[in-house]
Amino acid sequence: MVHLHVEKTIAAPPDEVFAWLADPVNLKTAPLILTADWARDSPTPGLGAIRTGFAIGLWFREEMVAYDPPHSYTYLIVGSVPAFDHEGGTLTFAPDGDGTHVDWVSTYTHPIRGGGKAMEALTAKLLPWNFAAVLDGCAKALER
């Protein structure tokens, strides 16, 4: 099982940071993400919304399973290639001085059909780097 944890304090208000990070278009600030958007069949952003994307070596579809702006949201990968057995990813947003502390946690495994332990070793290195790049992109976009 892989447990990822990335955090960053961003010099912007929680509501702005939450909205920026919840919008799948902004996931493209990660080096490996090529496209990301709301799924065509998705309800409006919020609980039950579906985000989809393509990355180098990965396709994903994730559902917002908890949505509490501007405090937190949780997503669950509900489809992907390679396969993930995703326990969920949660982003929490806490005021920190004049900014927002973002805490991003995700836990998953790759079943044998998705590459198993070899894929876990690879994604355990690549995903935190990409999560951090998304947080850096948020800071660059919102910090004044």
Given a cut of 50, the residues of the chain with pLDDT beneath it are none
pLDDT digits (tens, 9 = 90+) for 40-61: 989 878 999 999 999 999 999 9
Q: Which CATH superfamily is domain 2-142 in?
A: START domain (3.30.530.20)
pLDDT of residue 46: 94
pTM score: 0.95
Q: With beta carbons less than 8 A apart as the criterion, state whether 136 and 129 touch.
A: no
Distances (CA, A) of 35 to 59, 60, 103: 10, 10, 24
- The bridge status of strand 58-68 relative to strand 72-81 is antiparallel
Q: Where are the domains of the chain?
A: 2-142
